[in-house]
């Protein structure tokens, strides 16, 4: 159960980092600005990094030493990683629709 909660917290943290980076990218003027592509690129980069980092850090830092607990942990870890990934995408989509006229609106 703890793995799932940490996965949700990790996904929310990654969304927050993506939002901060998107907000830091300045608007470009002209007929064909490249700033929306940069924001989208950073969002999708963190979408890929989210499950990779969570899975790796969980294996290195959260894995229990007891074999019985380790088996339960290893069966829950892929599910928690998938939940974190889906949550990241859903939160990103909702945020991009909520802030469609802002910098975050360029994610999708």
For the chain, which residues make up each domain, given as ranges? 2-24+34-63+70-106
Listed in sequence order, the residues at least 6 apart from 84 whose beta carbon sits closer than 8 Å to its beta carbon are 7, 8, 10, 11, 50, 51, 54
Query: What are the pLDDT tens digits along the chain (108 aa)?
Result: 789 999 999 999 999 999 999 999 998 877 888 888 999 999 999 999 999 999 999 999 988 888 888 888 999 999 999 999 999 999 999 999 999 988 999 898
In what helix (H) or strand (E) does residue 91 lie, and over which residues does it extend? helix 67-98
- CA proximity to 55, closest of 73, 69, 41: 73
- CA proximity to 54, closest of 71, 35, 78: 78
């Amino acid at each position: 159960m703890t793995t799932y909660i940490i996965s949700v917290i990790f996904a929310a943290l990654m969304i927050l980092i993506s939002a901060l980076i998107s907000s830091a990218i300045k608007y470009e003027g002209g007929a064909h600005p490249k700033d929306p592509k940069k924001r989208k690129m950073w969002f999708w980069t963190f979408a890929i990094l989210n499950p990779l980092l969570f899975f790796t850090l969980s294996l290195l830092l959260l894995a229990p030493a007891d074999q019985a607990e380790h088996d339960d942990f290893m069966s829950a870890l892929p599910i928690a990683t998938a939940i974190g990934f889906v949550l990241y995408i859903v939160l990103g989509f909702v945020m991009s629709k909520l802030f469609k006229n802002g910098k975050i609106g360029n994610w999708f």
